[in-house]
Amino acid sequence: MMDTSHAIVEIRLTDGLESWADGLALAPAAGGLDLESDPPNPHVAFRAMGCTVRAEVASLDPRAQTPLEQVSALFETWESSLTRFRPDSELCRLNERAGETVAVSQVLWKVIQASIRAARISDGLVTPMVLRALQAAGYDRPFDELRGEDHPPARSTVSVADWREIVLNPADRTVRLPLGGRLDLGGVGKGWAAEQAADRLKSLGPVMVNAGGDIAFSGRRQGSRPWMIGVADPRRPERELTTLAIRSGGVATSGTDFRRWTTGGVEQHHLIDPRTGAPAESDVLSATVVAPSLMIAEVAAKVAILLGSRDGLAWIESQPDLAGLLVLVNGETLESRRLAQHVWRA
């Protein structure tokens, strides 16, 4: 199957407002392809899980378009189970029964498992037990409903329950949350969905699935040619910070620059520090991480922000499979040593 992927995908660090342009000539494409004449890859784009999702297959086979069109239905099914904004979702029903043993679906089970792995990898910094803290900060409705106006003052910060108190029983696929504990699976659920979609599409050819700046890649492209990923400056979205050349794994961006709102005149954001129960105070505005999988990249990007630039960059450097780019509040950018391995050189 011939590989024709040539697009440079632009990651806008304003989650959910990604700009896409097949063949955008931000840098030369691998293999000397003519960006003007090569046809675009089969792809589909839609809104789900509070962001724009795009799935793309590196193939000339017209049959690839039909399974691509089915991806949006998959995301809708997964979102109906994992969202915290629909009272009838499976996640909401589980949260309402904290302290009880509840049988859950395969989808919810897998995402809860992934969220616990994220907590373990991050030593509890990236925990699913932040829902009550998010609600206390004012994030108690879909983000589109928060933007553009001031809201009543946030409630007092609340302590974040210990993720280690979540009880999973694989024998009967049951979950028991600690009393008072409520799950938010937003970032992990979105990354899990992107990886699942990429895995289901990989038989068609090399695949890229981008869910709001969290990107999963599946399958190596012909000739080991990379996917070109342009990382935009969160302060000046029209400006590119760098172009990444990615062959496999995942790339994730987390930031406090987009999902912001005001409560009682005080600006808030969605990244909760479980050590304080409040939106994180960090000198890192956004973090982009390259990792062997999207889940690990997603966790690492959040850890980098929560730890701050010095400790966050040191944490990335301590992980042999990670590379990162941090954009600081003061305008400075920091790169891990291994990022150079992933930067496109013309």
Q: What is the CATH number of the domain that holds 174?
A: 1.10.3980.10
Q: What is the pLDDT of residue 210?
A: 96
170 and 89 co-located in one domain: yes
Q: What is the pTM of this model?
A: 0.86
**Percent of the chain topping pLDDT 90:** 67
223 pLDDT band, cuts 50/70/90, is: low
Q: Evaluate whether residue 1 is within a structural domain.
A: no
In a domain, 309, yes or no: yes
Q: Both 153 and 28 in a single domain?
A: no
CATH code, 273: 3.10.520.10
Q: Check residue 103 and report its DSSP letter.
A: E
Predicted pLDDT at 160 = 95
In terms of pLDDT, which residue wins out, 273 or 148? 273
229 and 280 share one domain: yes
Looking at residue 231, its pLDDT comes to: 94
More confident residue, 151 or 24: 151
Contact 214, 191 (CB under 8 A): yes
Whether 3 maps to a domain, the answer reads no
Whether residues 15 and 64 share a domain: the answer is: yes
235 with 321, same domain: the answer is yes
* 56 and 200 share one domain: yes
My answer on whether 139 and 207 are in the same domain is no
Q: How confident is the model at residue 5 (pLDDT cuts 50, 70, 90)?
A: very low
Report which residue type is found at 251: V
Closest among 327, 317, 328, 311 to 242, alpha carbons compared: 327
Q: What domain range is 32 assigned to?
A: 8-69+191-342
Per-residue pLDDT averaged across 202-230, rounded? Answer: 88
Share of the chain above pLDDT 70, in %: 82
Domain end marker among 186, 206, 233: 186
Last residue of a domain, one of 130, 162, 186: 186
Is the pLDDT at 83 greater than 50? The verdict is yes
Last residue of a domain, one of 186, 213, 242: 186
- Residue 225 pLDDT class (50, 70, 90 cuts): confident
Closest CA to 136 of 186, 104, 184: 184
Side-chain half-sphere CA neighbours of 157 within 13 A: 12
| Buried residues in 292-312 as b, exposed as e (16+ CB within 10 A) | ebbbbbbbbbbbbbbbbbeeb
Tally Cβ neighbours within 10 Å of residue 145.
12
- 243 with 322, same domain? yes
In-domain check, residue 203: yes
Please give the single-letter amino acid code of residue 131.
Answer: L
Higher pLDDT, 298 or 258: 298
55-91 exposure pattern, b = at least 16 Cβ within 10 A, e = fewer: bbbbbeeeebeebbeebbeebeebbebbbbeeeebbb
| Residue 60, pLDDT score | 82
The answer to whether residues 63 and 209 belong to one domain is yes
For 8, residues 6+ apart whose C-beta sits below 8 A from its C-beta are 21, 23, 24, 25, 26, 27, 29, 228, 229, 230, 243
Q: How many domains does the structure of the chain reveal?
A: 2
The reported pLDDT for the residue numbered 252 is: 96
Instruction: Write down the pLDDT at residue 142.
Output: 79
